[in-house]
Copies of this chain bind each other. A is one copy, B any other.
């Protein structure tokens, strides 16, 4: 790209409007402008940076095919998404995607299929992808692979992002991740969350699964979580407590014993529990109720229990956690390293805790989202394929979505220095800035010749070909640095006449080299970066 005609200028000062630090860097470097509060415009330079980013984001996908879909009408969408009427789903593409799949896919032999689309969602560019598989097992395997691949990518880019479990979630998934980058202005709350209206779910950090088996520990006369935590010298968040209710539920003639398992520092949201199980009456369970299903009051947990009237519900806080301390159903005894999924299971999982105060949480910015949404939506739309057993089965759907603005902003907050942005080589929209200080016919021709040679060799070059009086050398160097280009090669007037150029890697020392050597040295430099 030629700077003389590029619609992108740098700013010497931070823009006046409030914006996250990364967005200010992008604005100063001329990648982005706020055209009005909250509306952003990506310049040609910004489009180049987004193109580089999305190439990397598409790489983990398995043979992705592009689509152009348009959201269905709000009423139509609401019909399929049920309770999510009137929010994000007005822009969701899952219904048209599954309708397309319904007409195009008839056999499991056509699967897995991965589709993608880049589009504006609420005025911001998103990269979205969908995975279709013949069953949930294949879906979970593919989505787990993608979750790992994307986590690796973010780690490679030094993003302080962390994957966080998100259950339940937009599409009703069993497996879902949100990548979020801790940030004081973020709209998500990590660890113990604030409801986020768009994501309509709570977010918890995913704990490492318990490495050791459950182990009993004596806890004489310890009855409350506070006493337990004090006795074991741990925090209440490292325990799982149970709260039990006697409830009349739809579809059951006998009263049920609801045992809610929740992290020790949280409280049960009883309205959410009642809604989930369809309870018409609900009251705290008595000690007799507990004993009837085999639990020991004060030391109760779902571990080892099974009874026709017992219904176990697990809050997302324990599902996402690693090993916790829980009751042993034996007086004066608890168990360490109790792991949901391994040591007990629940009939229902979900967000059934009360929202803690905001100040207890860590704000974060959501960058991307991954979900193994399963077969429910395809069942609703009627999108099925013939399974290997010759039966029609609903398609299993997975989703990956990246908010490119948030991701780019987070990246810029990591990759910058005092001079401005500083792209890692693999994300830089330009391999190098070629700065020409030429002002005679002959030296300009030399610079043009080198620019053409670099393009021909496949390098992405930001060519500062502005007229001499348009910008002095200092302005040119500062612009290249603000824009984050990893390498700058300067053709000075005197250097040119002597056949030399200045080579300067970002953060490195300048080095005088012969113009003839530039191409060979660049090849070596590129090899070093791609190895």
Contact = CB atoms under 8 A, between A and B. Distances in A.
How many identical chains are in the complex? 2
A280 interface: no
Given A41-B69, A44-B65, A119-B120, A113 B35 contact: no
Contacts of A47: 66-68
A141 to B, nearest CB: 18
A109 interface: yes
A35 B72 contact: yes
Nearest to A103: B33
A253 to B, nearest CB: 43
Nearest to A93: B41
Given A70-B120, A125-B68, A39 B96 contact: yes
Interface residues of A, number: 51
Interface string A396-422: 000000000000000000000000000
A412 to B, nearest CB: 17
Nearest to A1: B65
A41 B9 contact: no
Given A8-B104, A109-B470, A115-B7, A67 B96 contact: no
A42 B68 contact: yes
B40 A67 contact: no
A110 B40 CA distance: 22
Given A39-B96, A65-B44, A5 B113 contact: yes
A120 B68 contact: yes
Given A36-B76, A96-B39, A96-B41, A7 B101 contact: yes
B68 A104 contact: no
A68 B41 contact: yes
Contact of A124 (B8, B70, B100, B105): B70
A41 B7 CA distance: 33
Interface in A1-34: 4-9, 30, 33
A63 interface: yes
Contact of A36 (B40, B41, B99, B123): B99
Interface string A446-488: 0000000000000000000001001000000000000000000
Given A35-B72, A43-B67, 17 more contacts: A7-B65, A7-B101, A7-B115, A30-B104, A36-B73, A36-B76, A39-B73, A39-B96, A40-B70, A41-B96, A41-B97, A41-B100, A42-B68, A42-B69, A44-B115, A47-B67, A50-B68
> Which 9 pairs between the two chains have the least Cβ-Cβ distance?
A70-B123, A44-B65, A42-B68, A35-B96, A35-B99, A47-B66, A41-B100, A41-B69, A7-B104
